[in-house]
Structure 1
Amino acid sequence: MTNLLVSVWNVEHGSSVYAVTPNGRKVFLDCGSSSEFSPAKEVNSTYEKKKLDYLVITHPHRDHITDLEFVEEKFNIKVIRRNKKITKDVMLKDNPDVFDPPNDKIIERYFKLSDRFTKNVEPDEDPSNPSWGNGCTFHSFNNDDKELGVNNLSVATFIEFGSETILQGGDLEEKGWLELLKDKEFREHLKKTTILLASHHGNDSGYCKELFDYFTPKITIFSAGSYVDDNSRKKYEAHTKGITVRSLSRGNEDRWVLTTRKDGHIKIVAYPDTSMEPKITID
């Protein structure tokens, strides 16, 4: 395989992105699920565990980690990226009832998993190394100030391959984005971004006008549940170039904003040939 494959799963109100690099490395960015759909089971329907090269958990809110049980059951996880500044105390300050049933088991599972991963990453396992995925790299950033709150401590990750850069930012809100914009390296990656997975499910609270001083995405994608903020949608559309998307039911159509609520699972193929546009398919 020579292409980068990315799936933005429809997990209702939640977040789960699965990527397979050109040399077969497997990556999850968040692991949300719905009552009827588990991304981990979808990509590994066998009883035998497969290797998961990289797991990014933007932040441990329930809708970003409900599939964690099956990720652990279906995969041997090699490397985890999370923000260690998000402690139980930080979680409790933001969400006093977070450890009360039925949330306690899911959140506790996250902290137990996080505590197991303490070793330094070996060079061959480092997703920012170009040889890790035939030129495909993953670069993650996060704020450190606990006073920003859990959402604004979300890990933001750039997936870069060929001429495409995909940005996923968890539940970052305006204040968190503005803090990250102070980082020169973050800004340099931002300038290359071509596909935006809008933070906080496309809600207005995740919109930050200043981000678009650095890039104009070809497409913006909302991982959204039953509600889509139309005011926010219009804001993102104003900053987005638009691209032709292949609908399995309607054929080709020009789109600016896609939502998992309306469009189902969203598949992205990025090519090593920098003259080729990405192929985007919706259910």
Structure 2
Amino acid sequence: MIDCGRAKRPGWSPSVHYAGTAIDLLVIQNLDEDHVEDLSELLRTVTVRSVFSNPTVTASALASMKPDGMRTGVSTAHNVLRDFGPGLIGRWPDTGEVQVVHFYCRFGTHFTETNDLSLATFFRWGNFTILFGGDLETAGWQMMLRNQEFQRLLVGTQVFVTSHHGRENGKCAELFQIMRPDIAVISDDAIQYGTQEKSTQWYRDKVKGIPVLGTENAYGIRDKRHVLTTRRDGTISIAVGAWGNYLVTPEKVQNELTLGEILGAFGRNALSKDSQVA
């Protein structure tokens, strides 16, 4: 699980959705309230076997970054860091063929505010790579770009979950001098800042786009989507095939298509690693 915030619409929370189950690894990308709002309840209703956050952010460091006080989620995270220490808590789970790689800046040495201390997390399986950007801002991205291994993983990234919910200060043009993802995904709620709409167009110009299932014209050409947002598209599911091909299914499409149609489209493209359907 990446973070444990809550969706205000339609009132979704992981502590309810996953109650009674177990989570092998909870990755806390950013120690701000919107990323850990449900942490207290999650730890009560779900068995969390391990937790990972920026290893350089201790409980005292987190407290120093919250001079105006901590709300419930951050306070719970602070208590966890105080009781168990920063970084990995528990054992790193066996993720099988899935490779999980984190990059982070150092508290004090590089930054002293939470956004640029976010984790940047790559998940890789076969030829497919997705990057979650946390709440990194431009300076944080630029610091990470000094790392050659970070640059290497950027090259193969197909899906980019943008940082800071698509806000202006999460943009970094230098990233796209190295990576050229197929799509960008913006995890956001209702529009709170005018720059969020402008950012959608900015990211659209930086990605390739993927064809949309069910939009074929007379010549067999499909429309393309470049940027998906949870605000507009709802829950976004990504199914990945063994050859690196993948199927992106927004919630609204799931409601319109039958399972057979979705699986049929995925099956027809399963032998081509360059073929994606959304």
> TM-score when scaled to structure 1?
0.75
Amino acid at match of 2:172: C
Shift of 1:243: 1.2
Instruction: Tell me, yes or no, if structure 1 residue 160 matches structure 2 residue 124.
Output: yes
SS in 2 for 1:133: coil
Matching residue of 1:135: 97
1:7-41 CA-partner distances (Å, limit 9, x unpaired): xxxxxxxxxxxxxxxxxxxxx11111034111332
TM-aligned CA deviation for residue 51 of structure 1: 2.4
Alignment-derived partner of residue 126 in structure 1: 92
Kept in 2, the 8 Å contact 1:165–1:193? The answer is: yes
Return the match for 1:114 from 62, 73, 81: 81
Counterpart in 2 of 1:220?
184
1:84-233 aligned within 5 A: 84-87=55-58, 90-91=61-62, 94-99=65-70, 103=71, 105-117=72-84, 125-126=91-92, 132-146=94-108, 148=111, 149-227=113-191, 229-233=196-200
Higher relative contact order (CA 8 A, sep 6+): 1
Q: Deviations over 1:231-267 (max 9, x none)?
A: 21121111111113459xxxx8521011111111111
Partner of 1:271: 241
Report the more deviating stretch, 199-208 or 141-150. Answer: 141-150
Residue type at the aligned position of 1:279: V
Q: Runs of 5+ in structure 2 lacking a partner?
A: 215-221, 253-278
What residue ranges of structure 1 are gaps of 5+ in the alignment? 1-27
- Structure with bigger strand share is 1
- The structure with the larger Rg is 2
Query: RMSD value over aligned CA atoms?
Result: 2.5
Q: Secondary structure at the match of 2:3?
A: strand
Shift of 1:120: 7.0
Aligned to 2:28: 57
1-structure distance, mates of 2:88, 2:128: 29
Identical-residue share of aligned pairs (%): 30
Deviation of residue 115 (structure 1)? 3.8
Do 2:160 and 2:181's aligned partners in 1 also have CA atoms closer than 8 Å? yes
Cα separation, 2, equivalents of 1:67 and 1:229: 24
Q: Is 1:30–2:3 an aligned residue pair?
A: yes
Would the aligned equivalents of 1:80 and 1:117 in 2 still touch at CA under 8 Å? Answer: no
User: CA shift at 1:186, angstroms?
Assistant: 1.4
Correspondence for 1:241: 208
Per the normalisation by structure 2, the TM-score is: 0.77
1:86 and 1:121, CA in 2 relative to 1: closer, same or farther beyond 3 A?
closer
Q: Deviations over 1:38-73 (max 9, x none)?
A: 13322x24xxx3321111101210000011123212
